[in-house]
Amino acid sequence: MRNKRLLLLFLILLSRGVTPAQVNPENRRLVVNGKAGDATVVELNSRTYIDLETLVRIANGSLGYQGRQITLVLPGSEANSQASSPGPEEPAGHDGLTRHFMIAGIETIAQMREWVSTMANAIQHGYGVSETWAADYRGKAADSLRQASASASTDADRNALQLLTNEFHNVGTWSDELVEAQKNMDTAKYSMSSGALRNEPLSQQIINCGHFLATMLGGAEFRDDPSCH
């Protein structure tokens, strides 16, 4: 019952389009079925929300998107125990992504989202951003990307890994530009307008690619998109 209530809250948050950058995220330790991990928590209207993909990463589950339907499978759930073919470690076909790579890829996206949202929130609210501070988030995302690389075992996995890598490099470029703007005291324009940073071309590319990658990984099938190049 508790899992159902949490899932409902996550879906409400997604439907409202609320992002951590809008509501001051806070890092906490989340434990799901005995498995622990770091999660960015958002407080909104006296309720607590976390990113759905973060829940999947910590629980070692899987997430799928099909039209307006979101399918969440956690280890030990009824849907997982009834699955019979293909096996959880097998590719889903010629264009399919392996389960290990999907999980590692979702974690990589989650780390990049935390990197982006936390830096954007800091810049927009006039908080100090340093190279050391940004490097910590870069390091976490890089570690996740290396895990995804180690998990890639099929052509589909490797093709998807290239898109993940492109997104990582774009986020890195964007992060460097913000650090440089902070050094030059050129970040006031971002605090004057809530959409100034989000509407920049590189920001839009990162957002669009991130959404595409989450959908692709959730669907377990490799696809390509111009936003990730």
The domain limits of the chain are: 2-228
pLDDT band at 175 (very low <50, low <70, confident <90, very high): very high
Q: What does the block give as tokens for 6?
A: 């949490």
Alpha helices in 90-200 (DSSP H): 99-124, 131-151, 155-183, 188-192
Specify the range with the lowest mean pLDDT, choosing from 62-71, 87-96, 117-126. 87-96
CA angle 225, 90, 228 (to 5 degrees): 15
Specify the range with the lowest mean pLDDT, choosing from 6-10, 187-191, 201-205, 213-217. 6-10
pLDDT band at 147 (very low <50, low <70, confident <90, very high): very high
Question: According to the model, what pLDDT value does residue 77 have?
Answer: 41
**Which residue, among 224, 222, 217, 221, has the nearest Cα to 62 in the 3D structure?**
217
The overall average pLDDT reported for the chain is 76
Q: For residue 81, count other CB atoms closer than 10 A to its CB.
A: 10
pLDDT band at 82 (very low <50, low <70, confident <90, very high): very low
Of 133 and 34, which is predicted with more confidence?
133
- Could you tell me what percent of the chain has a pLDDT over 70? 64
pTM: 0.62
Q: Which amino acid is at 67?
A: G
For residue 69, what is the enclosing H or E element? Answer: strand 69-73
Question: According to the model, what pLDDT value does residue 111 have?
Answer: 94
Interval 14-65: pLDDT, tens: 445 544 444 456 777 776 665 667 777 766 555 666 776 777 677 766 666 5
pLDDT band at 144 (very low <50, low <70, confident <90, very high): very high
Q: Are 141 and 108 in contact (CB under 8 A)?
A: yes
pLDDT band at 10 (very low <50, low <70, confident <90, very high): very low
Q: Which amino acid is at 116?
A: V
Residue with tokens 């982006």: 116
For helices 99-124 and 201-219, the axis angle rounded to 10 degrees is 150
Cβ neighbors of 38 (< 8 A, separation 6 or more) are: 27, 28, 29, 30
